Structure 1
Amino acid sequence: SNFKKLFLSLQVYLFVCSQVLLQVEIYEIEGNIFRLKIDEASPLRARYKVPDVLIKEPTTKRLFISHKEAGILVLSSVNEDYKLQVTSNPFQVELQSKGETVMSMNSNGLLYFEHLQPPPSDRKSTVQNEEAASDSSKEKQEDLGLWQEKFGNFLDIKAHGPTSVGMDFSLHGYDHVYGIPQHTETLLLKNTSDGDAYRLYNLDIFGHKIHEKIGIYGSVPLLLAHKPNRTSGIFWLNSSETLVDISTKAVHTPSRSAAETAKQRAVPLTDVRWMSESGIIDVFLLMGPTAFDTFKQFAQLTGTQALPPLFSLGYHQCRWNYEDEQDVKAVDAGFDAHDIPYDVIWLDIEHTDGKRYFTWDKQKFQNPRKMQEHLRKKKRKLVVIVDPHIKVDPSYTLYAQAKEKGYFVKDRNGQDFEGISWPGPSCYPDFTNPEVRKWYADQFAFKTYKASTNILFVWNDMNEPSVFKGAELTMQKDAVHYNNWEHREVHNLYGFYQQMATAEGLIRRSSGKERPFVLTRSFFAGSQKYGAVWTGDNTADWSYLKISIPMLLTINMAGISFCGADVGGFIGDPEPELLVRWYQAGAYQPFFRGHSNMESKRREPWLFGEKNTQIIRRAIRERYVLLPYLYTLFYRAHTAAEPVMRSLWIEFPEKMETFDVENEYMLGKQVSYSLGFDLNIFEVVWKPFCPGFVFLQIPVFQRGGTVIPLKTTAGKSTEWMIDISYELHVALDTEACAIGELYIDDGHSFQYLHKKQFLYRKFTFCKNILSSSCIDESGQYHTTCVVERVIILGFGKHPTSVTQTLLSCSDGKKTEVVFTYDTKTSVLTLENIALSVDADWEICIS
């Protein structure tokens, strides 16, 4: 045997049920990723393999056979950092990094694979009757039971029989695991051995309960495991209903210490079992070794967060429903009257003609184009809802076209699947069909979507899909999609595909020039490429404010940085203090929208008394002042897959006291937010796991050693703020140093990508010199904005002089800077400096 023989992948064949051959493929992928695929070698028909989620088919690397003996094969990566030991009987795979076992597969022997079988001979009559046939033969009855299942009053006919798959993974040395959104659960995933498994099955659950593992609106089958010296991930690429069981225990292993060879030590071990109803086993093992490495590895597979248009990072005002054009204008005017910034007003389902999407209620919205032009003059935008269900009405153009073209999902008998939703009887476009997605995207063209303009953007709701009176309020699993795939196989992809088609439609209507904004309720791995998500129908209760933070942190870990929770709670009426606190929390979260149910009392920010209006105004204005920093974070998410909103353990991976913290988080590297009380002071504080944070307010901390770019004041909306000058907050670390970044582009187009129309700057404070330099010289964007003010936090002594130098000037002339110094707080403030944002300069303090 030639142990140096080169392999691109490993293929192993296994027998199940004594007769059926399974093919196992193992690949190494560039960037410390391994892929394991298991499928039937010769299935009766092809099994479903998830398309379109991976941005491309990953390029495999070379694996070498480094050892071989009876029943055991050891494969090594080129640099021999990783080894894969494959055992044939029982089948197991062990993944080692530098001699340490990181992960093993099927070590508990829980691999299962229900192979495709010929149908029972009398299945045809069973389907026609839609009832279990009465049969004297118990054996025959059990055989039929494999091919049908009852859920309440619903009969699920399995056209191809049982097809579930599953496998266990053991994470060695790990007892902290995270991810697999979306659940209303704690940040740290819990053991499920004594209760329900985590379920990934997208469902419309109105007023979802707290601390439940049932699936709600979105699913990302990505689990992360962390210990002080490593982060690893498991990405289970399967879009059918999936359950995840987790069990953490201590395993006693011999000590490696020479002095304690006879002793035993307890090492944590977490077993994770994945079970899916259909498809194949297709799993990616993300080897890190850091958290940021795993984020990049997942993005390498599924894509990075789309760079949002700047307006969408402002505040959004929504309600089910703003009644008519006069109501929209009155709410818009209310923000100006109370000096509260906002960017977008939203319209829910009542704005349409009888819940027919892409239309307007002719009585309530008689001139929607004029209404949009009014908002445009105010430099604001409009978002309207576009749900997937289409009203059954032959006179409705959208329905008639889709009906004629055969674009709806079918039932098991080949007829258009029909369910009940907001319009009444409704049909559902089959977004899994590329032709249907193209047709749907075309509906957003200005000539087709009457009275729409380029300030109109889109909200995809109810796209789990939600089906009133359906099994679990969703589509029957035996409905049929494009290429004859059953709904059970594609269920968790439905909302993903609608958002994809919607985003493409908004891009296409601008001839590819403008970035889209699309909010979706249902999502899957890769949804980050198409827009934003939110946590769905929450409740106006303190517990929902609290749980929103671990929910959003978990979604961020799964690659979707643009996420938020409805401020104030969608259901019910928040008490004023809860509403105020929620605004303070939402101001420091990626997607910031106030929203409420039609049965809730009106809750525009000025309706709760002047004192509360002041606090809410200040929170929203702080959001707008923070936008330069937040936009820079989204650029990092877009280019480097760094989550905008981060659990503390991500920034402090060696500090175990941070591993389960879920009421405090980092906004990028520099800002820490904590649930608590509102204060407005500067104070240097110290934490056991941080070098030093400066306390600002709400409470918000700036990390020592950082520079944060801000606007000097808030405007009426983001578009009003283009020419407002900047200020820098410099928080010094224990070495009296700091560093930060600022990214700028036009905020709305793809010119940053196609024409290098961007500006990317770096600010450094070291040895009492603050300097500005260019990070990416290819950037061609120019701005007239200046840095007007610098606030240096933690400056140790009163300066004698401060001078500024514009380095791009030939003479390098120095100019004196006006400053003030507060000896009590050690805050040095530099005023009226007027240094260009796009120029190289330095400020010297002596």
Structure 2
Amino acid sequence: MEATGKEEISVEDEAVDKNIFKDCSKIAFYRRQKQQLSRRSMYQASLDSATTGKDSTKFQIINETTKVPLVAEVYGIEGNIFRLKINEETPLKPRYEVPDVLTSKPSTVRLISCAGDADSLVLADGKGDLKCHITANPFKIDLVSEEEVVMSINSLGQLYFEHLQIPLKQRATKENKEDTSVDTSQEDQEDLGLWEEKFGKFVDVKVNGPASIGLDFSLHGFEHLYGIPQHAESHQLKNTSDGDAYRLYNLDVYGYKIHDKMGIYGSVPYLLAHKPGRTLGIFWLNASETLVEINTEPAVKYTLTQMGPAAAKQKVRCRTDVHWMSESGIIDVFLLTGPTPSDVFGQYSYLTGTQAMPPLFSLGYHQCRWNYEDEQDVKAVDAGFDEHDIPYDVMWLDIEHTEGKRYFTWDKKRFPNPRRMQELLRSKNRKLVVISDPHIKIDPDYSVYVKAKEQGFFVRNHEGGDFEGVCWPGLSSYLDFTNPKVREWYSGLFTFSAYQGSTDILYIWNDMNEPSVFRGPELTMQKNAIHHGNWEHRELHNIYGFYQQMATAEGLIQRSKGKERPFVLTRSFFAGSQKYGAVWTGDNTAEWSYLKISIPMLLTLSITGISFCGADVGGFIGNPEAELLVRWYQAGAYQPFFRGHATMNTKRREPWLFGEENTQLIREAIRQRYALLPYWYSLFYRAHVAAQPVMRPLWIEFPEELDTFGVEDEYMLGSALLVHPVTEPKASTVDVFLPGSNEVWYDSKTFALWEGARTVKFPVALDTDSAMGEFYLDDGHSFQYLHQKQFLHRKFSFLSGVLINSCADKRGHYPSKCVVEQIFVLGLKKQPSSVTTRSSDKWTLHFLMEVRYTGIQREQGHPAASHQLGFLQTMVKMSLWLLHIVPKCPPCIWRSSH
């Protein structure tokens, strides 16, 4: 808590309160769209005006009520992607189109007009496999694949487009007054928030009136949808009802409510639909406040197609309708047609980029608290890990390390010699992460503030002055990261000369960047604040934090003159944030339910491109009981970003403070993380080069098995390791679902084998005929893997009793002193009579071949082998990475390919 004049700021100010945050009924553009759409306003396409150019096909769309023309553009993009853009033909001023998210201008494929007349138009890609069938009246687009309609656009008639208008006070004539896209009386205008929208004590003045957009998509044959983070909700998206839409609006929600569709820290307006044989994606490129309604119509077994006793019957497929609504901008949507999950991941990464390759240290364990008090505290905690023989890689410092919450400074009393502190960490090959938020304390003696103000680098209020809001330092201004010059300047603050006391082992954490404004509407910035280019904050709210992480990552790269990979953690994010670092799930609570919900939250982030994600171990808010803390460490060790963190008013909870038995269990969990680091690193390389998620829901690996589509209490790491964390108190057994009727699963500790396609109480697996795997290695920190191709990427295969180690990428070259210490061959029914090795003159092999063979465990109800607290249920499919490097692992289950 810090006094700021007559006011005080405390974390309790941010506690969840439904009066602070809006539900859908309080969102004016949602109410308007629902009211207007109930009248079934119709749009008609003017297809006789269609023109096909090099990049796109254009045609007009006319609203029957307003008669104001829209222009639609359909693009074909490399890799089976379609893009649809709809904008006003002649807006009063340009409408906001989201920049900087797409990695580059997508390469277009010329669409060929297959057939067309005044009533319809058919466009096909070059191969002819995918077609867009456009119907004129009413306007509709069907996406056809192999003669089957897989998606329809505007089939429900929910296209909605509010046109920019002359400000109300300038509209002197009746004609102007009638030129509005919403036909309402004057007294209705206040209720519908056309020109002003009230929420509590705040009034949002809209200079150009209402400007919202909306469109519906019908997904034929699909009833399983995923994506659109961030919500503390199930992995599979649920049906919504009036007033219960998924909200995408980045907000600082302290101790957020779980099983709720309210928006929290980040937004990725991208969802996937999956069914056996097909995966689709919809990427709605809009950074304003967005709502998504979902309604699944289950399959109807039979329907009558004619009357009378001879009525024919036919099966009607299930269908899921998705209705997107955004406050402003244009309709700019990408349709990713798959057909496989991997194809959709590749298509999305082609548009927004892949996960940045992390430095190796960042995959280890991170120790954080708000706040470690001073240099002596840091030294003592660091020594505690050594004393208790617990590995860790990164020490973190929260806001209290600064001089009065002034970022890029150090508290002179608490941290008088920050370089010495960092050298202590460096001597043990450890790193330091410090916080840097977007708000800048208004202080004429603070050089960062003075320089930013002199150059006009702050967001402005609607009257033209610098926007001012309250955050941790008290009264603050907010850097306008949407301005390229501001990002360039901010990146320069990370140089050693500018950031006094920093060294090359210091990395950055961006927090509060939704942005958080303590006394603002919904604890964030007013929507009519002004950004670079004279754009209102409402247009780009959800992308603000994305820009700060971008500038921070670039600053760390520039600091090393382009040689070293950055590490940046951000709380707020958008589509494409994966290019710049890691994300976490924010201010969670030390309760079992938050441990449990972390799994679907991280799975949803992972499938929407953000593989480097995690949840604060132990829960940020509150004091976990020992059992919960241990279980959380065991779970966190198998999640991509692994950090322990707690707020300032909690009891200290370093891993050794809960008794020797619990210390041992936590030590074992963290060591298991480090034992698997080669596997983690290889998975991140695949995420970086091929957009394959590190943490995967079962349906990705088993896309034809319906039983996997709703599973969210277990998941795969890569294609080999199945993880089922314990998320209930006093659990002695866990029911683990093993997918795959032809799969083999192994307990990597006992090497027991079990068959797939069943639920068991202990890890299981079958026989081994073949297995495949990969191993990736580089220096762990630089960009040499990219610029000089200094990496090692090996492929392993085991077939007919022969293990082959070959090169997976011949471009790579990296001399390594790594040796093969042990090779385990699992699943043989009897001991082989001999083992033969072959090698060229360049290689000398020194290893002990240990062959494990065991019978198949077929019983359904095998009890858990361990009732102690430290047991973690994980299973593995046989992987040749396991055959190459076998660390001491916990009870794990690996998957084996036949």
Match of 1:787?
820
Match of 1:666?
716
Whole-Å Cα distance in 1 between the matches of residues 838 and 561 of structure 2? 44
Q: CA deviation at 1:734?
A: 4.3
Give RMSD over aligned pairs.
3.1
CA-to-partner distance for each residue in 1:785-809, whole Å, 9 max, x for gaps?
1010112221221122223322354
Whole-Å Cα distance in 1 between the matches of residues 751 and 202 of structure 2? 51
Letter in 1 for 2:168: P
Match of 1:714?
none
State the secondary structure of the residue aligned to 1:398: helix
Whole-Å Cα distance in 1 between the matches of residues 49 and 333 of structure 2? 29
Q: CA deviation at 1:543?
A: 0.2
Whole-Å Cα distance in 2 between the matches of residues 656 and 285 of structure 1? 24
State the secondary structure of the residue aligned to 1:636: helix
Letter in 2 for 1:363: K
State the secondary structure of the residue aligned to 1:806: coil
Whole-Å Cα distance in 2 between the matches of residues 174 and 751 of structure 1? 44
Match of 1:718?
none
Give the direction of change, closer, same or farther, for the CA distance of 1:564–1:411 in structure 2 (3 Å limit).
Answer: same
Match of 2:292?
244
1:695 aligned to 736, 747, 761, which one?
Answer: 747
Whole-Å Cα distance in 2 between the matches of residues 464 and 203 of structure 1? 6
Give the direction of change, closer, same or farther, for the CA distance of 1:697–1:46 in structure 2 (3 Å limit).
Answer: farther
Match of 1:743?
776
Match of 2:22?
none
Contact 1:120 1:143 in 2 (8 A): no
Whole-Å Cα distance in 2 between the matches of residues 144 and 356 of structure 1? 41
1:326 aligned to 368, 373, 376, which one?
Answer: 376
Contact 1:732 1:795 in 2 (8 A): no
Give the direction of change, closer, same or farther, for the CA distance of 1:689–1:679 in structure 2 (3 Å limit).
Answer: farther
CA-to-partner distance for each residue in 1:13-69, whole Å, 9 max, x for gaps?
122343321000001101010000000111110000000000111121111111123
Give the direction of change, closer, same or farther, for the CA distance of 1:488–1:805 in structure 2 (3 Å limit).
Answer: same
CA-to-partner distance for each residue in 1:98-127, whole Å, 9 max, x for gaps?
110010100000000000111112699xxx
Contact 2:701 2:719 in 1 (8 A): yes
- Aligned pairs (5 A) from 1:274-353: 274-353=324-403
Whole-Å Cα distance in 2 between the matches of residues 29 and 822 of structure 1? 51
Q: CA deviation at 1:457?
A: 0.2
2:693 paired with 1:646: no
Whole-Å Cα distance in 2 between the matches of residues 687 and 86 of structure 1? 41
Higher mean displacement: 762-771 or 361-370: 762-771
2:793 paired with 1:760: yes
Match of 1:268?
318
TM-score, normalised to structure 2, is 0.84
Whole-Å Cα distance in 2 between the matches of residues 394 and 690 of structure 1? 69
- Aligned pairs (5 A) from 1:34-45: 34-45=82-93
Q: CA deviation at 1:83?
A: 1.3
Match of 2:25?
none
Q: CA deviation at 1:657?
A: 0.6
2:706 aligned to 637, 648, 656, which one?
Answer: 656
Contact 2:366 2:642 in 1 (8 A): yes
Whole-Å Cα distance in 2 between the matches of residues 462 and 377 of structure 1? 32
The gaps in structure 1 that reach 5 residues or longer are 125-136, 705-730, 837-846
Letter in 2 for 1:178: Y
Match of 2:116?
68
Give the direction of change, closer, same or farther, for the CA distance of 1:175–1:208 in structure 2 (3 Å limit).
Answer: same
Q: CA deviation at 1:817?
A: 4.4
Letter in 1 for 2:609: G
Match of 1:437?
487
Match of 1:93?
141
State the secondary structure of the residue aligned to 1:283: strand
Q: CA deviation at 1:758?
A: 0.2
CA-to-partner distance for each residue in 1:752-804, whole Å, 9 max, x for gaps?
00000000011111111222111111111110110101122212211222233
CA-to-partner distance for each residue in 1:444-500, whole Å, 9 max, x for gaps?
000000010000000000000000011000000000000000000010001000000
Contact 2:267 2:575 in 1 (8 A): yes
2:475 paired with 1:425: yes
Give the direction of change, closer, same or farther, for the CA distance of 1:672–1:481 in structure 2 (3 Å limit).
Answer: same
Letter in 1 for 2:487: R
1:367 aligned to 411, 417, 424, which one?
Answer: 417
Give the direction of change, closer, same or farther, for the CA distance of 1:256–1:762 in structure 2 (3 Å limit).
Answer: farther
Contact 2:365 2:393 in 1 (8 A): yes
Give the direction of change, closer, same or farther, for the CA distance of 1:613–1:261 in structure 2 (3 Å limit).
Answer: farther
Give the direction of change, closer, same or farther, for the CA distance of 1:521–1:690 in structure 2 (3 Å limit).
Answer: farther
CA-to-partner distance for each residue in 1:677-734, whole Å, 9 max, x for gaps?
99999xx996555602112479999999xxxxxxxxxxxxxxxxxxxxxxxxxx9974
Contact 1:120 1:144 in 2 (8 A): no
2:114 paired with 1:102: no
- Aligned pairs (5 A) from 1:213-612: 213-250=261-298, 252=300, 262-612=312-662
Whole-Å Cα distance in 2 between the matches of residues 231 and 76 of structure 1? 20
Contact 2:824 2:850 in 1 (8 A): no
Letter in 2 for 1:30: E
Whole-Å Cα distance in 2 between the matches of residues 575 and 419 of structure 1? 37
Letter in 1 for 2:280: S
Whole-Å Cα distance in 2 between the matches of residues 59 and 51 of structure 1? 17
CA-to-partner distance for each residue in 1:359-416, whole Å, 9 max, x for gaps?
0000000100010011000110000000110000010000000000000000000000
Match of 2:132?
84
2:62 paired with 1:11: no
Whole-Å Cα distance in 2 between the matches of residues 618 and 47 of structure 1? 55
Letter in 2 for 1:355: K
The gaps in structure 2 that reach 5 residues or longer are 1-47, 173-184, 757-763, 858-875, 887-898
Give the direction of change, closer, same or farther, for the CA distance of 1:179–1:689 in structure 2 (3 Å limit).
Answer: farther
TM-score, normalised to structure 1, is 0.89
Letter in 2 for 1:333: A
Whole-Å Cα distance in 2 between the matches of residues 358 and 261 of structure 1? 77
Contact 1:255 1:261 in 2 (8 A): no
Q: CA deviation at 1:4?
A: 13
State the secondary structure of the residue aligned to 1:178: strand
Contact 1:470 1:476 in 2 (8 A): yes
Higher mean displacement: 654-663 or 760-769: 760-769
1:148 aligned to 196, 199, 205, which one?
Answer: 196
Contact 1:407 1:436 in 2 (8 A): yes
Match of 1:633?
683
Contact 1:178 1:188 in 2 (8 A): yes
Contact 2:776 2:791 in 1 (8 A): yes
